[in-house]
A and B are shown apart, each in its own frame.
Chain A
Amino acid sequence: MSVIRGRAWLFGDNVDTDVILPGKYLVLTDPNELAKHALEGLVQDFYKKISKGDIIVAGKNFGCGSSREHAPIALKYAGVGAVVAESFSRIFFRNSINIGLPAVISKDARRVIKEKEQISIHLDEGYILRESGEKIPVEGYPEFLLEILKDGGLLQNLKRKFAGMGGVSRTPP
């Protein structure tokens, strides 16, 4: 995995999927349109304010609520490089990795990292590097999840596995 670098955007506990991407936008399927409403419930025009690669650093239970994949998609296309949290809601964690947005568990990051501080995430080595040179440990992934992340998401992973299997028009037997 390559290193993810960006400024830290701090959020609290229990950031839910309805503030990450309000339900009224669920009819949108264009990721770039979804991006315009990312975190609309908490930060107006978040997508204009962040720089590509910036990192969300949050507390407990990030992404709680709905199973909407639109939520991590909106964050990713708004330019978020990764989400670091003390813990994630289970479905958001899976979705985030599946769409190629690293969801990184770190017990200490939210406590020590400062707002807008420049940080870098070194997933292969298992730490976040602060401006001061301090290293904050992050949790590792099981092998098959790391494989999906390295492929850039489950879609790429499936493409690889199902390549050359007959195309979309094949009719059932």
Chain B
Amino acid sequence: MGMTIAEKILARASGKSKVEPGEYIIGKVDLAMVHDLTGPLTLNVLKEVGYERPWDPEKIVIILDHQVPANSTVTASLHKQLREYADKYGTKFHDVGRQGVCHQILAESYVKPGMLVVGADSHTCTLGALGAFATGIGSTEMASVFLTGKLWFRVPETIRFELKGTLKPGVSAKDIILYIIGKMGVDGALYCATEFTGEGVEGLSVDGRLTLCNMAIEMGGKTGIVNPDVKTLRFTNTEHIESEVLRSDKDAEYHKTMEVALEDLVPQVALPHSVDNVKPVSEVEGVDADQVFIGSCTNGRLEDLEAAAKILKGRKVKAGTRLIVIPASPSIYMEAERRGYIRRFIEAGGVVCNPNCGPCLGGHMGILADGEVCVSTSNRNFVGRMGSPKSKVYLVSPETAATTAVEGKLTDPLKYVRG
């Protein structure tokens, strides 16, 4: 019996030739990441342990991304604490000016296929899109990784999502993953690796694959993962190590397999207050939107901004609706600027903020008041996620977000794409 890519990476990281689901292993970590909300807790733990020197500063990346630039003296002191640690021990550090949504920064500059990546953020599973085993851990556990470079894992069962065919225009990776979560439920993949395979995935760009894997955690998944292909190798600059790349064996064993026909897929929305409360947008059109947010580790990439910019071309954001656009990284920001998207968002009546997490988790840059509705490209719509416990968040694709901004109410983008 063969192994899945997730099993192969965990086997390699633990120095074994074979591992099986359910087995506990100690894995050598290739990359560890903390950000401005989880990193300070890690450093506090190290201080209490009485030993804080990292096992390998080259493998530790500290990224300011949740509240950047600092929006309060409390945040400023958290940033300062991380800055001082990075300075002292020579870890990688992304300060204001080089900051961006942590998973995007890792994707652009650090992660390679086959790596074992841990991040003190639940959406670390995003990086599986590059053929890595990437998963979120807590801050105390991260302190242990900082000191030892190792962590225990239970080898997960793998659920395979076989994507068939190609998407029609106006439908994108976000719609695929929302549809899947709607079918699986928020605990449908609990403790499992979720592997996306088939021509549907091959057809997606790296941006789209990152979106797919990003939301694996929203169905309880330990990681999302895509077998590396030529697009992955090009993106990660690893074409020269093609022969070493790990991929799932043809006879690998899966916990279960779900097929998704992409031709039939229409734009999806996750209604408040659960990510699996998913319906086609066409069935729930008309919900008034006070705010539209395009950004986050789910949909703040160039392809997402491009999709929104196309729809907003020559159009205006409806009076009474606020559009907030946040590119996920400086390089995306610059390329979007070069292509004229940034100008287009501003001309349409939107605001464009600097790369960071923005309002996604209710930190700043668009917090919701009582009774307000945000139609958002982010990944969670829990009670109070974006501010008031009496506000509501609807999760959609960038295409749906853009058409919603134009109409001022939840709107299916297909009519815009066709028309």
Contact = CB atoms under 8 A, between A and B. Distances in A.
Interface string A49-72: 000000000001100111111100
A94 B138 contact: yes
A163 interface: yes
Given A19-B383, A67-B120, A67-B137, A158 B143 contact: yes
Interface string A73-87: 000000000000001
A61 B384 contact: no
Given A90-B191, A99-B140, A158-B147, A66 B50 contact: no
Contacts of B2: none
B103 to A, nearest CB: 12
Interface in A140-173: 142, 144, 153-155, 158-159, 162-163, 165-168, 170-172
B53 A27 contact: no
A163 B50 contact: yes
B187 A29 contact: no
B241 interface: no
A18 interface: yes
Contacts of A171: 53, 88
Interface residues of A, number: 46
A29 B140 contact: no
A79 B384 CA distance: 24
Interface in A89-117: 89-91, 94-95, 98-99
B48 interface: yes
B50 A69 contact: no
A41 interface: yes
Interface in B377-410: 380, 382-385, 387, 389
B43 to A, nearest CB: 10
A125 B36 CA distance: 41
Given A27-B67, A158-B144, A172-B57, A70 B51 contact: no
Interface of B: 24, 37-38, 40-41, 44-53, 57, 66-67, 72, 74-75, 78, 88-90, 119-122, 124, 136-141, 143-144, 147, 152, 186-187, 190-191, 217, 220, 222, 274, 361-363, 367, 380, 382-385, 387, 389
Interface of A: 13-14, 16, 18-19, 22-24, 26-29, 41, 60-61, 64-70, 87, 89-91, 94-95, 98-99, 142, 144, 153-155, 158-159, 162-163, 165-168, 170-172
